[in-house]
Amino acid sequence: MIPALLDLVFPPACAACGAGLAASAGEPWCPDCGGAVDPPDPCCARCGLPGPEGPCQACLADPPALDGLRAAAAFGGPLADAVHAFKYRDRPALARPLGRWLAARVAPPPGALLVAVPLARGRRVARGYDQAALLAGWVGRATGLPVLRGALRRVRETPPQVGRSRAERAANVAGAFAAGAGVRGREIALVDDVVTTGATAEACARALKAAGAARVTLLALGRAG
C-alpha cells in the first residue's frame, strides 16, 4: 500500500504507548517515549558482546562469520513495548515506522543486499506474518537497497532461544540455516528485530558465507543484554 493510504488505514500512533502522532511524524514514538529510548551500551562492533567497541578477545582469537553488528538502541523501555506489540499483539503495520527508524539509525553498508533472519515456521504460522521480513522490506524502501527474499532459509526448526545461556543458544541454532546462490560475492545486511547473544545472526552469517557472501552485517532494532 502507498504510505498516504496506510496513514488513512492506520492513523499514526506512538508505537510504544499508542498516543496519537502528527501525520508528518518521522519517528515511531511520541516525544516522551522517544526520549526514553536509550542508545545501545558499548559492545564489540563485530559480535555484540558487551564491552569496548573494538573487537573483543573472542573475536580476535577466533573471528566469527559475522563481520559487524549494529543495533539502533538498547532493548528496553518504549522499544521493548513497541517490539512486543509488533510481534505478539498483531500489529504488523508497526513494521513501517520501526523499519524506517532502523534505517535512519543504523545505515546499512553501501550496496548491501538486505536479507531477513528467517522466522521459525511454527512462529510464522502462529503470528500470521514474519516481522523480520516486514522490517527488511521497510528498510529497503527507506534506503533504496534491494531485499533478497528467500536467500536464507531454515533447514532445521529450533526451539526458542529465550532462557538459554550463550553457549546453549549457539548450539541450538548451529547449522539451522542455509543460503542460496544469490548471495555469492555480495555484501549482506541481515535484518532482525532484536539481537541478544548474536548466536542466530552468527549461524545465519555462517550459512551466507558458506554460499559465498563477501561480508555479513546484522542490523537490529534493539540489542538485549
Interface residues with Zn ion (CB under 5 A) are: 14, 16-17, 19, 30, 33, 44, 46-47, 49, 56, 59
Q: For residue 12, with 0-12 CB atoms within 10 Å meaning exposed, 13-18 middle and 19 or more buried, which class applies?
A: buried
At closest approach, how far in Å is the CB of 123 from Zn ion? 27
At closest approach, how far in Å is the CB of 80 from Zn ion? 13
- Phi, psi of 189, deg, nearest 5: -110, 110
Which is nearer to Zn ion, 86 or 118 (by Cβ)? Answer: 86
Beta-bridged to residue 188, according to DSSP, are 113, 216
Which is nearer to Zn ion, 47 or 136 (by Cβ)? Answer: 47
At closest approach, how far in Å is the CB of 43 from Zn ion? 8
Q: What residues have CB less than 8 Å from 47, skipping those under 6 apart?
A: 56, 58, 59, 64, 66, 69, 198, 202
**Pairing label, strands 152-154, 177-179:** antiparallel
At closest approach, how far in Å is the CB of 14 from Zn ion? 3
At closest approach, how far in Å is the CB of 104 from Zn ion? 18
Which is nearer to Zn ion, 71 or 133 (by Cβ)? Answer: 71
Which is nearer to Zn ion, 31 or 150 (by Cβ)? Answer: 31
Which is nearer to Zn ion, 136 or 205 (by Cβ)? Answer: 205
Closest CA to 28 of 119, 111, 101, 90: 101
